[in-house]
Chains A and B, each alone.
Chain A
């Protein structure tokens, strides 16, 4: 492939790749697209940096306790106080 064609392909892939990174990291990209993205990321330092940043961020987010499972000490304290202040039902 001539240098000119290679540069044109690299420019096209540079516009195309970032929009597929999310699907790539979720394992939801078709094989052909995955190969194309991996080839571009090997060649392009900028896209490699973006993909690495996304990967690190998702690793951190997925290692965190989900918001729905986080304890809320203030709310818990308020509920305990409410229950304690309620008169037992007769």
Chain B
């Protein structure tokens, strides 16, 4: 998706009018591309190549460098898995709002522009998404 987004952005760059920030414009292209792929039927799965398993592939085994200890890393990974599951349970409009605002760190104004809705409508989706996510993640939020 990322490669397709940058390709589309490169082709559309002459039409970029600087009314929005470049980052907002890129998010908008990414959002449209993701929507387009989600509405397309899934392609058939390619058969795995037996000569290139992850276990043998030193590049695929790269993990994100972190200064956390093993226990904290395990808890972080557990939270990330729970978050992925919880996000997948949200309606897509609410999920998009939470991802853009709280994970990608866009402002309300930027995120609303990416989605193409008014700020009030965006805030409503964001609030509903956050409330449902909080309920789903409650066991992981206790005690700090």
Contact = CB atoms under 8 A, between A and B. Distances in A.
Contact of B138 (A22, A53, A80): A53
Interface stretch (A6-14, A38-46, A62-70): A62-70
Given A50-B134, A53-B138, A19 B127 contact: yes
A50 B62 CA distance: 38
A80 B108 CA distance: 37
B107 to A, nearest CB: 9
Interface string B96-121: 00110011110010000000000000
A62 B98 CA distance: 11
A74 B54 CA distance: 8
B102 A62 contact: yes
Interface string A7-45: 000000000001101110010100000000000000000
A58 B130 contact: yes
A66 B108 contact: no
Contacts of A65: 64
DSSP class of B's interface residues: helix, strand, loop or mixed?
helix
DSSP class of A's interface residues: helix, strand, loop or mixed?
helix
A61 interface: yes
A62 B101 CA distance: 9
Interface residues of B, number: 33
A57 B133 contact: yes
A22 B103 contact: no
A88 interface: no
Given A53-B134, A57-B133, A57-B141, A74 B60 contact: yes
A80 to B, nearest CB: 6
Interface string B1-24: 010000000000000000000000
Report the 3 A-B pairs with minimum CB-CB distance, sorted nearest first.
A22-B127, A77-B59, A77-B60
Interface of B: 2, 30, 52, 54, 57, 59-64, 79-80, 83, 98-99, 102-105, 108, 123, 126-127, 130-131, 133-134, 137-138, 140-141, 144
